[in-house]
Structure 1
Amino acid sequence: MNVSVARVPTLSASRYLQQLAKHWSHKMDVVFTPEEGTIAFPNGSKLEMRADSETLDIVLHVPEGEDVARMREVVASHLDRFAFREAPLTFDWRKG
């Protein structure tokens, strides 16, 4: 399993976490609160998010053989849509 982590600076982390979770809850297994969320993708990837007052922390688990860069882009582009007032957000992706 490949693990990527990112700390995204934003004062609206909880709002974006909840919007993304609600958006994907129609297609994927999603569990979330205003502070934390987990999304299970059909390809076996898993996204974990934690919101605080200044950042959205992201941990993305991608199975071997799946495209890590593509999954990072899927997550980032969706969050940028919800953050259109301050987009593009800064994703400092690194290996976890």
Structure 2
Amino acid sequence: MPASTARVATAHGRKYMTQVAKHWSHRFPELTYDENRADVPLPGGTLTITADETGLTLMLSASDAAGLKRMQGVVVEHLNRFAFRETLVYAWIED
């Protein structure tokens, strides 16, 4: 199963993670989150977000490489919606 990880520097990681988790919880009722972690069951894969005072760690897995790339784009798009006051940098590393 293809997977990738990204570290995103921001002082607002917990806020963004919580906003994305609340947003997606309507679509994915199996989603769970607390103040430090969100586990998101996505179609064809999973996303785990961990947050701390320096940023976010995004761990994404998918059933195939094309799905992984597509889901990376979806994750980035959604996080950027909530982080519109700053520019986040995503450096995905394939596992």
Is the pair's TM-score, using the shorter chain for normalization, greater than 0.5? yes
Please show how residues 8-47 of structure 1 align to structure 2 within 5 Å.
8-28=8-28, 29-41=30-42, 43-47=43-47
CA deviations 1:18-39 (Å, max 9, x no partner) are 0000000001121000100100
TM-score, structure 2 as length reference: 0.93
Task: Find runs of 4+ consecutive structure 1 residues off by over 4 angstroms.
Answer: none
What SS does structure 2 have at the residue aligned with 1:67?
A: helix
CA contact (8 A) 2:5 2:57 kept: yes
The count of aligned residue pairs is: 94
SS in structure 2 at match of 1:78:
helix
The residue type equivalent to 1:33 in the other structure is D
TM-score normalised to structure 1 length: 0.92
Unpaired runs of 5+ in structure 1?
none
Superposition deviation, residue 84 in structure 1: 0.4
Deviation at residue 80 of structure 1 after TM alignment: 0.3
Q: Does 1:70 align with 2:70?
A: yes
1:51 deviation in Å?
Answer: 0.4
Give me the CA root mean square deviation. Answer: 1.1
Q: % of aligned pairs identical?
A: 36
- Where does structure 2 lack aligned partners over 5 or more consecutive residues? none
Residue equivalent to 1:3: 3
